Structure 1
Amino acid sequence: MRWRVHFSPRLRVLLLALLLLAVVAALYSRSRQSDPSIVLLLPNEAALDLPVTQAWLDAAREEGLSVMPMTDDAFLRYGGDRQRIAGVILPDTVHPQASEMLINQLHRHVEAGGHLFMVFDAALLDSQTGRYAADQSRLSGLAGVRYAMYAELKDRTMALGRVYGSRESEQLLALQPGKMDFQDSDRLPLGELTTYGYARLEHGHFRTGPPTGAQALLVSDSNDVLVSVHPHGQGSVLFANLPLGYLKTRTDSYLLHRLLGHFADAMLQQPRLLAAPDGIGGLVLNLHVDSNAAQTPLAMLEANGWFRRGPFSLHVTAGPDAEREGDGLGLGINDNPPMAAFLRRMVNAGHEVGNHGGWNHNLFGKQADESNRDRFEPLLALNQASIGTATGQVPRSYSAPMGNQPQWATEWLQREGFKGYYFTGDNGLGPTRSYQKGVRARRSDLWAFPVSSYHRVATFEELENAEPEVTPQDMTDYLRSLSRFVTDQHLVRLFYFHPPAAVQHLASIDALMAESSRLEQAGRFRWYTMEAMADFMSRREQVQWQPLPQASRTGGFSASSPAGLERLSWTVPAAGRGAPQVVQGNGSVRTAGDHWIVTAGTGQTLKVQWQIQ
């Protein structure tokens, strides 16, 4: 029997308040020389339960940051102590109001050497009246940019526009290859930020004045500052003039994740928990097998030894039809012994065979929606049973036909114990916890695997109709760059294609395989399956880690997990630090450019220290 406990709203707020007080108490308990923590500033305890707050905390966790929520009152009582706060995040949407006391404290904190990441509408309104508190944002001086100039601009205070940046900004922010379009941007030499499936990506933002002492990293088509860094006093400020947390709840979270990583790594020099086993980056190569048109290309790839690499994730639509009932264009796995035998060989070779849903690929992709669950959900089960019978294994990864995934399909995946699914939102991320219609998906072992794309194109079949034009050579160069990027950044990303395209684009496929093999032989790259990465991410999610108190110029961190720490890795900036030493538990240390990589061995606890130089 399962017992379910229901809390009243008043009791829920009380519990949240106790949690935040415990966080503050933990910070206070550290010595004056403790290694600083990053705090997410919230107006009150109730804000902790808001979807955008959860989106910020999810993003920080997925980026491997040690972030603690803190209320305004606690921050004011705390005095903004830089010895115990490495950086302050002032988020969008959930923190529009702020008192003059808080504004003054933020100014003093940065001027004395603190670091602030402030976002969009944070602290714009008066805490008493709920109206604009000044002619412009009271934080304009910290940003080095005048913004939210309501008194001057009135109904022109905000605008909708595209996002542009230079090659230097792309490199400084470590933006993923393919995200910035430097070929067809209408603001050359600046590149335009892109995403999969949209001709143009536009975001709401405040109109701004020109930067004063700040460095603009990303700007709008009307040259409003969208992202900037500003040295202020002895500290620094990262300003994002975009609703980053809100955008994550609408499946557009790339900039939130990337700017969090930049703030922690480049500005705060903080350790981060990597989202790759052993800290070794790589790719999930996801083959979508839609119909019987894939059978001959798959046989050719197998004959050429292509499947001796990997492991890869093959997702199969198993029904006899592909467009309409009775067309006979599907794989018909139940009555297709050669194809069933091929799938068994793939499983025996270590590849993953997953569910490409829907039984009839195009019928499901074009017609399934929120209104016809009773008609189409049984087709998911049919596909699942057919693949399971053919391979002898229950599929645990999924890709939606034509990317069409109604909410009930996600609920079906959760109920059936799936671990990962191909996702057309959150373009450019690794495995993530997705949000739908502003709300986080129910907690489970299910991870979304966003597709990576070159500008607006995610796979070879889309080249023919791509606007602006994308050539096969563009895709070849992109796949080489993506392989190097995930290797250098210790990330895992997903790329997908359909087997018939492999025959038509062998040069691109061969270039990907050659580059990945070169990196793999150097011990710096791996292929991952969707299920294996999902298992790793679920285990990583259980890790609790935090900076250690400093003593005699010694820093470090401690970590623990009931699921074990084996193969979990942290990246530690080398500047100003000696080589990390494992002083408790099992682990190893290696260099990677200007960082150290600390990888845990077997055990549930780990303690690492280094000398501060």
Structure 2
Amino acid sequence: MPNPLYALLQRLRKHRAMLLLVVAALSLAMPAVSRAATNQIALLVPDGMALPDARVSAWEDAAREEGLKLTVISDTQLQQGITPAQFPGVILPDQVHVHASENLIAALENYTSLGGKVMLVYDFGALTTTGFYAPQRSRLSNLAGVDYVLYDSLLGNMIGLGPVTGLGSTLRNIQVPPGKSMLWSTNGTTDPVEGISGYVYGFLTYPSFVTQGSYTGSALLTSPNFGLVAGLRNFGSGSVLFVNLPLSYLKGQTDGMLMHGFLRYFAVNLMKLPRLSAQPKGRAGLVLNMHFCAGDQIAPALKLKNWGIFNHGPFSVSVTAGPDQITFGDGLGIKLPQNATAQQLLLFLQSKGHKIGSHGGWIHDYWGANASETNQSTFQQYLELNKQSVEAVTGRPATEYAAPEGNTPQWSVDWLEANGNTGYYFLGHTGMAPTRSYRHGVLTNQRIRAFPVMPFGQYATFEEFDEFNVPAGSVTAWYRQLIDFVVKNRTSRLIYMHPLGAEEYPTVLNALFSRAATLALSGQFSWYTMDTLARFEQRRDLVSWQATDNGLTWVFQAAHPTDMTDMTWVLPRTGFIQPVVTGGLGLVTFDANNWIVTSLGGTSLTFIASKL
């Protein structure tokens, strides 16, 4: 006898919206085992681990910022039968689970063989339960696909410290943006090998275990001296993403880019998971932070005004307000309380929608050279003076901050957060979107967001491009690539400049704003201020949401205590068919790779989507 439910669904298949509504209702009667599935990643920690622990919280916060659902599970839970149907992926983190039993490793191999996806990170399981290295190689080498933790043969040399390289296209896929890597070798193709780099420092060095043996998977990152740094390979019906880097440790030391990048790659590229966008409406953008450091910036800023540069934006404008620039009494500062021209300029910029914030400590270079973790009693007054002077001109709270020369003692961030600041320019975590910054392994500030500077290799400002002979054409190409990167990934980054340097590059500025305007017309790009994105992320933190498998479709339910407006979910089109809003006010759109579900208001939203 034909199944009546199947026949009904067949008749309705040309009417997708109606079909999804029907299966959402009918699937409530499916067996409970089907509803045990999740759209979540599992993070494996040892039995009995005391939580919260910053090394675990770093992963939880990264997942939250990337808009992903992550659940902490224990060894016992895994060994009792966690399946790929319940958790499509499991992260085996660094630092917190260095000891592992043979039974646990066997359970992980079984989970992966059955179709699970595993992200194996650095020193997970490097030691036995008795605290010794396994003979010859890591017991996880079978999963990783390469031999590592070679203590018997290499002893103290089993960990190397050196540059990390990969194809440019691969680096973009793991969310390393253009400018956060530099050319390593041309390899004769249009996809050259690049090395991960940092502002001022050039090629960065990272610790990784020396690896040996041929790797049968797809190498993502390598060390020119020490072997495989990251790779993806099949294992049974599943797959293993081996990341031979201490991701949690790095995030704790103000280098969170690789944790965030691999987390998104694992969740979205490999598992096709949905995510809650960090962007209003899911719309990509840049923050342009313009620094007015001293008196010599005002005339160039007026020139940019006459060119119409400030008709774009809004931008984040950070002002050092004191009378001096380098030392007390040099008279080179903006002298904002007495400078009518500067005051009128700031009021004009504010009228155009730009956000006027504080550029540190009253005397730019003096703060940059001397503020430290030990002299808050002396230097806090300069934060106060600068903020008060800016606010006296604008009549509005100065909620954005940029530290002179990037000198940002922890106490200054504490003071900023306590005094209403929402975001600050930061020289840590370069290459990242806005983030709550861990420092020295700890998250101290709960609300204020760090906005990492986006470099172009070793440089970031027009003055540096000029000093080190970076061709204007190269800078133009970088800005274009960066805009295209944020648009493709629906993310944001911060760039910065000074009027004095920018006035020498009108062609580059015109190309930058022209590209941005073109993509803005099609709704793909916006200029943001630090304050706008930080406040949105604070509001986004209050969203609670879940995706429940009802057997034939997934039901997404979201709520917010006050306002869901512009909260947006991004679902890979390779993983889901077109969503349908079933409750609340929402809009479904799409791009080449994703379905986009945006709340239009209210405090709740429900939509359904079936997995492919």
Normalising to structure 1: TM-score of the pair?
Answer: 0.92
Q: Judging changes above 3 Å, is the alpha-carbon distance between structure 1 residues 331 and 66 closer, same or farther for their aligned structure 2 residues?
A: same
Give the distance between the partners of 1:80 and 1:459, measured in 2 at CA: 50
One-letter amino acid of the counterpart of residue 224, structure 2: D
| Identity rate, percent | 38
One-letter amino acid of the counterpart of residue 487, structure 1: V
What's 2:599 paired with?
Answer: 600
- Equivalent residue for 2:465, pick from 463, 466, 469: 463
Q: Judging changes above 3 Å, is the alpha-carbon distance between structure 1 residues 141 and 399 closer, same or farther for their aligned structure 2 residues?
A: same
One-letter amino acid of the counterpart of residue 489, structure 1: N
One-letter amino acid of the counterpart of residue 532, structure 1: T
Q: Judging changes above 3 Å, is the alpha-carbon distance between structure 1 residues 291 and 29 closer, same or farther for their aligned structure 2 residues?
A: farther
One-letter amino acid of the counterpart of residue 483, structure 2: S
Which range is displaced more, 164-173 or 424-433?
Answer: 164-173
Give the distance between the partners of 1:36 and 1:570, measured in 2 at CA: 13
Q: Judging changes above 3 Å, is the alpha-carbon distance between structure 1 residues 388 and 36 closer, same or farther for their aligned structure 2 residues?
A: closer
Give the distance between the partners of 2:572 and 2:221, measured in 1 at CA: 25
Aligned 1:495-574 pairs, distance under 5 A: 495-551=495-551, 553-574=552-573
Asked whether the equivalents of residues 273 and 575 of structure 2 are also in contact (C-alpha less than 8 Å), the reply is no
Give the distance between the partners of 1:30 and 1:329, measured in 2 at CA: 72
Residue-by-residue CA offset, 1:446-486 (whole Å, 9 max, x unaligned): 110001111121221122444xx633222111011111111
Residue-by-residue CA offset, 1:25-54 (whole Å, 9 max, x unaligned): xxx987456344211111134353222111
One-letter amino acid of the counterpart of residue 152, structure 1: S
Give the distance between the partners of 2:344 and 2:56, measured in 1 at CA: 49
One-letter amino acid of the counterpart of residue 150, structure 1: Y
What's 1:17 paired with?
Answer: none
Asked whether the equivalents of residues 103 and 139 of structure 1 are also in contact (C-alpha less than 8 Å), the reply is yes
Gaps of at least 5 residues in structure 2 are 1-30
Superposed displacement of residue 395, structure 1: 0.1
One-letter amino acid of the counterpart of residue 579, structure 1: Q
One-letter amino acid of the counterpart of residue 506, structure 2: L
What's 2:17 paired with?
Answer: none
Q: Judging changes above 3 Å, is the alpha-carbon distance between structure 1 residues 30 and 470 closer, same or farther for their aligned structure 2 residues?
A: farther
Give the distance between the partners of 2:329 and 2:450, measured in 1 at CA: 33
Give the distance between the partners of 1:346 and 1:273, measured in 2 at CA: 33
Counterpart secondary structure, 2:178: coil
Over aligned residues, Cα RMSD in angstroms?
A: 1.9
What's 2:377 paired with?
Answer: 374
Give the distance between the partners of 1:126 and 1:29, measured in 2 at CA: 38
Counterpart secondary structure, 2:296: helix
Give the distance between the partners of 1:85 and 1:325, measured in 2 at CA: 61
Residue-by-residue CA offset, 1:285-320 (whole Å, 9 max, x unaligned): 100000111111111111222211111110000011
Residue-by-residue CA offset, 1:41-91 (whole Å, 9 max, x unaligned): 1113435322211111111111111001111112222x1222111100010
Asked whether the equivalents of residues 585 and 601 of structure 2 are also in contact (C-alpha less than 8 Å), the reply is yes
What's 2:134 paired with?
Answer: 133
Q: Judging changes above 3 Å, is the alpha-carbon distance between structure 1 residues 465 and 115 closer, same or farther for their aligned structure 2 residues?
A: same
One-letter amino acid of the counterpart of residue 202, structure 1: T
Superposed displacement of residue 212, structure 1: 3.1
What's 1:8 paired with?
Answer: none
What's 1:100 paired with?
Answer: 102
Superposed displacement of residue 609, structure 1: 0.9
Residue-by-residue CA offset, 1:381-408 (whole Å, 9 max, x unaligned): 0111110111111100000001011122
- 1:217 matched to 2:216? The reply is no
Counterpart secondary structure, 1:387: helix
Give the distance between the partners of 1:582 and 1:527, measured in 2 at CA: 29
Superposed displacement of residue 184, structure 1: 6.9
Which range is displaced more, 554-563 or 299-308?
Answer: 554-563
Give the distance between the partners of 2:185 and 2:360, measured in 1 at CA: 36
Q: Judging changes above 3 Å, is the alpha-carbon distance between structure 1 residues 518 and 64 closer, same or farther for their aligned structure 2 residues?
A: same
Asked whether the equivalents of residues 472 and 505 of structure 1 are also in contact (C-alpha less than 8 Å), the reply is yes
Q: How many residues align?
A: 580
What's 1:124 paired with?
Answer: 126
Give the distance between the partners of 2:592 and 2:66, measured in 1 at CA: 19
Superposed displacement of residue 241, structure 1: 0.3
Superposed displacement of residue 581, structure 1: 0.6
Superposed displacement of residue 190, structure 1: 1.9
Asked whether the equivalents of residues 289 and 316 of structure 1 are also in contact (C-alpha less than 8 Å), the reply is yes
What's 2:489 paired with?
Answer: 489
Give the distance between the partners of 1:99 and 1:287, measured in 2 at CA: 54
Give the distance between the partners of 1:182 and 1:162, measured in 2 at CA: 12
Give the distance between the partners of 2:597 and 2:520, measured in 1 at CA: 20
Asked whether the equivalents of residues 116 and 238 of structure 1 are also in contact (C-alpha less than 8 Å), the reply is yes
Gaps of at least 5 residues in structure 1 are 1-27
One-letter amino acid of the counterpart of residue 535, structure 1: R
Normalising to structure 2: TM-score of the pair?
Answer: 0.92
Which range is displaced more, 224-233 or 134-143?
Answer: 134-143
Give the distance between the partners of 1:172 and 1:415, measured in 2 at CA: 37
Counterpart secondary structure, 1:121: coil
What's 1:89 paired with?
Answer: 91
Counterpart secondary structure, 2:360: coil
